[in-house]
Chain A
Amino acid sequence: MAALSVTLTGQPNCGKSSIFNHLTGLRQKVGNFAGVTVERKDATIEYKGRSISIVDLPGAYSLSARSQEEQVVTDYFKENKPDIVVDIIDASNMARNLFLTLQLLEMGVPLIINLNMMDEAEKRGIKIDEMKLEKIFGMPVTNTVGRDNASVRTLLDVFTNTRMSNYKPSELLQAHIDKVNELCRSGLSAEKVEEEIITARYDFIDKVMADAVKVDAANKTLGDTLDKYLANGISSLVILVAMFYLLFQIAFNWIGQPLADMLGEFFEETVAVAATEAMAAAGVADWMQSLVSDGIIVGVGSVLSFVPLIFTLFFCLSFLDGTGYMARVAFVMDPIMRRAGLSGKGIMPLIMGFGCGVPAIMGARTLDSHKDRMISILITPFLTCNAKVPIIALFAAMFFPGNAANIVFAMYFVGLAVAIIMAKVLGLTTFKGHESSFLLELPPYRMPDMKSVLLETWDKGKGYLVKAGTIIFAMSVAIWFLSSFNSDGMTEDMSDSYLAGIGSATSVIFAPQGFDTWEAGAAVVTGVMAKEAVVSTLGILYGAEDISTEAEDAAETSEVMLATDMGTAFTPLAALAFIVFTQLYSPCVTALGTIKKETGSWKWMAFAFVYTCAVAWFASLIVYQGGKLLGFE
């Protein structure tokens, strides 16, 4: 027997994902719909000897193609006729949820209407007569409590026992559908028709609500009280800042980054060393030894060392999203973010960008429109991530002793300013017309469904490893090859490698910025691998091996480096131009790999590379030439 095809649909915040998660668990595959930044989730499960393939569509308020999500859902139902379509409805928010239900039924999609979060509805004094509901629609009605595994699994029997062909729209519903069809043929303007249809739908819904739903005195909920603090007045801003601080600390200082550092160290010091020794003992060829320990193991290490960070951050973000708090963040931050052409929710991933761009780029997924997601992804690389700080710290300590702290601060500001300017520019050019509007549901506060939080975290980590990881790994090995080989074969001396050649070729374009030495050029090239590599490359090329790449050791490192030729290779002004350039230019390969994964397109990855380099080139040009005009050196 062919697999039974089941599709879950519903409005945002109806608890659809947690139903899907409880039905499918780890068997789910998460991907994107072709060409868009919208997630598609699939899974095939076995139940009572029958295989059931389940698709979870993105939440959509209607089928009017006003957002990518709505477009995806509309197209899906035009192109697919699944055996069973389940429309999941938040029972405590029926009136608006039934809007989508009606639209689907008008399209001729037979539905199982599943009333979800029945426990919450009961708590709010809402009583729903399911029998009446079935009669009104002529479609089967079921109920679930989304976070309760047993209650969700009862749906499996419903799937296998229901034949949708046995259900026909009721007379009442058919009358509504006829009315809609008549309106479509009425010859009125398209907008007028749509308005009339919307009104007809809510008329129908009002009838349903009057007939089948009883609401006992709607009392103030806990959520209303919470909103007085979390989405209102000064307290909301204080709590918001505290939340950011907490999230940042957990991800970058308490759990994520420390674990990442340990993992990175383990690869560098234990695995690579052990592998080198083993290979030396076994008499493996030099180039092979180098490939394994400097290429492959370093590459794998750089992929893996981001994993704890991604897991930690996404656990926190999924949890917060599940509580409903993120919607309040969007609400509070909207007026500020709007000035930059972004929407309120965008603040969360952007703040993460000050730690690491990779989770920040992945976090853009949570934004509501394609435009917001793309702009957020494309401006994140300008922010001062943790890996850029060592570069700024070293150059500041070397060339601006006494002013180092101001330089570091100024660079944070430059990064942010360029990000905001580019958000505006991209909004007015590349993404013009895709209006980012703001009509945001403030869902009730809920305890997140932990199974969903964990699954989402796992998906993000896995997606990163599989999709971004392979690209990052390949690029790491390529950089190893370039830095260890020249046309005569392998070389111990990096200054004699292909990389040095590329470095000196690259450096030519930095003549107007005053740092056209081949060492600087090579550092810029390796910096694409990882921004920390800028400092270590300069260390190697100027003959000071084993310098620290930690920002807090910058004072010490700067003394070592000042003793080398680097001390005279840059004038202070050229050093400043160099910092500005490295601050803004290409995202590292990890971030580039992530951009490819998130946008699903090589084109956008290439665009991110080229346009950030161009912006960085011009910004550093302005700094150097402007500085010279003002009489600095």
Chain B
Amino acid sequence: MTLADAKVGMTVRIESVEESPMKTRLMAMGLIPNTKAEILQSAPLGDPIAIRLRAYNLALRKDDAKLIQVSL
């Protein structure tokens, strides 16, 4: 599944990031394989979502979250 499918409260492990112009940006922010991320909440309109990884909180759009394959 992708990060966009994960539900609030879940902690997931990042498997891979899909090839895209965003890939290295996402990676530079710490979204690299084997990193754990907790889904904190989504904005009132369902998008963007907030996650915690590497001890900080990051907000990203669902479109970008779809690029990230995760496992439980």
Shortest beta-carbon distance, A436 to chain B, in Å? 11
Rounded to whole angstroms, the CA-CA distance of A61 and B27 in the bound complex is 12
Number of interface residues of B (CB under 8 A): 33
B7 at the interface (CB under 8 A from A): no
Are the CB atoms of B55 and A93 closer together than 8 Å?
A: yes
Are the CB atoms of B48 and A194 closer together than 8 Å?
A: no
Are the CB atoms of A227 and B59 closer together than 8 Å?
A: no
Shortest beta-carbon distance, A394 to chain B, in Å? 40
Please, what's the 1-or-0 string for A404-439, where 1 marks a CB less than 8 Å from any CB in chain B? Answer: 000000000000000000000000000000010111
Known: A438-B60, A441-B57, A441-B58. Is A198-B28 also a contact (CB below 8 A)?
yes
Are the CB atoms of A335 and B48 closer together than 8 Å?
A: yes
Known: A64-B24, A198-B24, A198-B28. Is A92-B55 also a contact (CB below 8 A)?
yes
Known: A93-B55, A438-B61. Is A61-B29 also a contact (CB below 8 A)?
yes
Rounded to whole angstroms, the CA-CA distance of A64 and B56 in the bound complex is 21
The count of A-to-B residue pairs whose CB atoms sit within 8 angstroms is 112
Known: A92-B55, A438-B60, A440-B59. Is A64-B47 also a contact (CB below 8 A)?
no
Please, what's the 1-or-0 string for A333-361, where 1 marks a CB less than 8 Å from any CB in chain B? Answer: 01110100000000000000000000000
Residues of A within 8 A of B22 (CB): 437
Shortest beta-carbon distance, B17 to chain A, in Å? 9
Which one of B42, B46, B55, B61 has the greatest number of beta carbons of chain A within 10 Å? B55
Number of interface residues of A (CB under 8 A): 45
When C-beta atoms are compared, the residue in chain A nearest to B42 turns out to be A232
Are the CB atoms of B44 and A234 closer together than 8 Å?
A: yes
Which residues of A in the span 211-258 have a Cβ within 8 Å of any Cβ on B? 215, 218, 223-224, 227-228, 231-234, 236-237
Please, what's the 1-or-0 string for A54-67, where 1 marks a CB less than 8 Å from any CB in chain B? Answer: 00000001101010
B6 at the interface (CB under 8 A from A): no
Shortest beta-carbon distance, A224 to chain B, in Å? 7
Please, what's the 1-or-0 string for A187-205, where 1 marks a CB less than 8 Å from any CB in chain B? Answer: 0000100110011001000
Contact of A198 among B32, B41, B43 (CB under 8 A): B32
Contact of B44 among A95, A227, A332, A442 (CB under 8 A): A332
B45 at the interface (CB under 8 A from A): yes
Known: A64-B24, A195-B24. Is A227-B40 also a contact (CB below 8 A)?
yes
Are the CB atoms of A95 and B54 closer together than 8 Å?
A: yes
Rounded to whole angstroms, the CA-CA distance of A319 and B33 in the bound complex is 37
Rounded to whole angstroms, the CA-CA distance of A232 and B33 in the bound complex is 28
Shortest beta-carbon distance, B39 to chain A, in Å? 12
Contacts from A to B (Cβ < 8 Å): 61-62, 64, 66, 92-96, 99, 191, 194-195, 198-199, 202, 215, 218, 223-224, 227-228, 231-234, 236-237, 327, 330-332, 334-336, 338, 435, 437-444
The 8 A-B residue pairs whose C-beta atoms are closest, nearest first, are: A442-B57, A95-B54, A440-B59, A232-B41, A335-B45, A198-B27, A93-B56, A62-B28
